[in-house]
Homo-oligomer: A and B are copies of this chain.
Amino acid sequence: MNFASDNAGPMHPSVLDAIVKANTGYEMPYGNDTIMARVRDNIRATFEAPDATVYLVATGTAANALALATYTNPWDTIFAHRVAHVEEDECGAPEFYANGAKLTLVEGAGAKMDPDALRQVIIGTGQKDVHSVQRGPVTITQATEVGTLYSLEEIAKITTIAKEYGLKTHLDGARFANACAALGCTAAEMTWRAGIDMVSFGGTKNGCAGVEAVIFFDPEKAWEFELRRKRGAHLFSKHRYLSAQMEAYLSNDLWLELGAKANANCARLVKGLEAINGAEIPDAPAANMVFALLPRAAHRRAIQAGAKYYLFPADAPLDGPDDDLIRCRFVCDWSKPDTEIDQLLALLRG
C-alpha cells in the first residue's frame, strides 16, 4: 500500500523490454546513438514541432534546471508558483544552474498561478533599473504539485502575459502525461499552441526508470544547452539506455495510456475518499494525485496497517483527537492495482 509517490513504482514492461533490446553491440555514445535519432523524430511528431530541439536527461530536476538556466541570466529572476517543484523540492538546483539567479514567487489557488498576481510581480520586478534583478522566464507546473490542472485557456492567459513583457515560458511536465490525458488535448495544444517555449517532458514518474526530455520549440540555444548539459554532468555516455526508455514510452502513445491509467487509479481513490465520513478534499484532483484532509482515526488505521503516504506537516502525530483533520497526500501511478486502492480505502473507512 505505497501511495507515497509516482516515483516508487516500477518501469512499464515495454520500457524494460526496450532496455533489454538496446543491450546489444556497440553504439555511439553521448546522444549519438541510433535510437536517439528516432526519439528525436518521434518527439517532434508527437508535439507537431518539426524544428524542435530535443534532449534527454535522467532526472526531472536536471530537465527543469537546465532548461530554465538556458534562458535565465544570472541577474534575472524566474517567476514560479510558491509551491512549484523548482521552488520547494530541488534544493536550489535552478539557482545553481542559472549561476545565482533568483526565483520570484507567484500566488494562486490550487497551486496555479493567478494571472493577475503574475502580472503584478512582473510589473514589480525590474522597476529599479540596474539595482533590481531583471525579469526572467515564467515557469508553470502541469499537472501541479497538488494534482490540479491548468486548462488550456489558463495556460494561454499566463503565456500571453509573459509574452507581453517579452518573457520566455517553461512548462514543468514531470506529470505531462497525466495532464494531457486529463485534458484530452494534444501535446502541441498544451505547449507551443498555448504559448509555451520549452518543456520538461517527464517519463520517470510514468513508467520509465529515469528519463525526461527537454524540448525547445525554438532551436536558437541548442548548442548552449548541450554545453550546459555536459558541464552539469548530465550527458550520458551510454545514452542509448535513456533513448530506449523514451522510445518505448513514445511508441503507440504509451505515455498517454499510462497517464490515463494513473489518473483513473486516482479517480477511484478520490471517489472512495469523498465517501469517508468527515474527509475533505480542498483542491479538485484532476490528475494522479490527491490531497485530502482525513480524520486522524482514519489516517491512524491506514498507517498502522502499513500504508505509505506523505503528511503535511511531515511530523503530524498519530496521537490526538480522532476527529482532527490531517493533511495527507496520495499519489497513484499507472501500476497501482485496484485491489490496493480498495484495501487502503477499506482501512480508512474503518
Contacts and interface: CB of A to CB of B under 8 A. Distances in A.
Interface string A88-131: 11111101111111110000000000000000000000011011
B231 A59 contact: no
A344 B153 CA distance: 51
A128 B26 CA distance: 21
A16 interface: yes
A269 to B, nearest CB: 15
Contacts of A228: 75
Interface residues of A, number: 75
Copies of this chain, count: 4
A237 interface: yes
Contacts of A237: 5, 7, 59-60, 204-205, 210
Contacts of A65: 233
Contact of A20 (B20, B24, B102): B20
B233 A232 contact: yes
Nearest to A26: B2
Interface string A22-38: 01111111100000000
Contacts of A7: 29, 237-238
Contact of A236 (B58, B103, B233): B58
Given A101-B92, A314-B127, A233 B234 contact: yes
Nearest to A23: B10
Contacts of A101: 92, 95
Interface in A129-187: 130-134
A35 to B, nearest CB: 13
A224 B77 CA distance: 15
B58 A130 contact: no
Contacts of A45: none
Given A20-B20, A131-B90, A96 B232 contact: yes
B29 A11 contact: no
Nearest to A133: B92
A10 B27 CA distance: 8
A10 B30 contact: no
Nearest to A205: B237
Contacts of A231: 74-75, 90-93, 96
Given A75-B92, A90-B231, A96-B231, 11 more contacts: A8-B28, A9-B25, A61-B230, A74-B231, A91-B131, A91-B132, A91-B227, A91-B231, A92-B101, A130-B227, A210-B238
26 contacts: A4-B28, A8-B26, A8-B29, A9-B25, A10-B24, A58-B58, A59-B233, A59-B234, A59-B235, A65-B233, A74-B92, A74-B99, A88-B128, A88-B132, A90-B230, A91-B131, A92-B133, A93-B230, A93-B233, A95-B100, A96-B231, A99-B99, A102-B102, A204-B237, A210-B236, A232-B233
Interface of A: 2, 4-5, 7-11, 16, 19-20, 23-30, 57-62, 65-66, 73-75, 77, 88-93, 95-103, 127-128, 130-134, 204-205, 209-210, 224, 226-238, 241, 308, 313-314
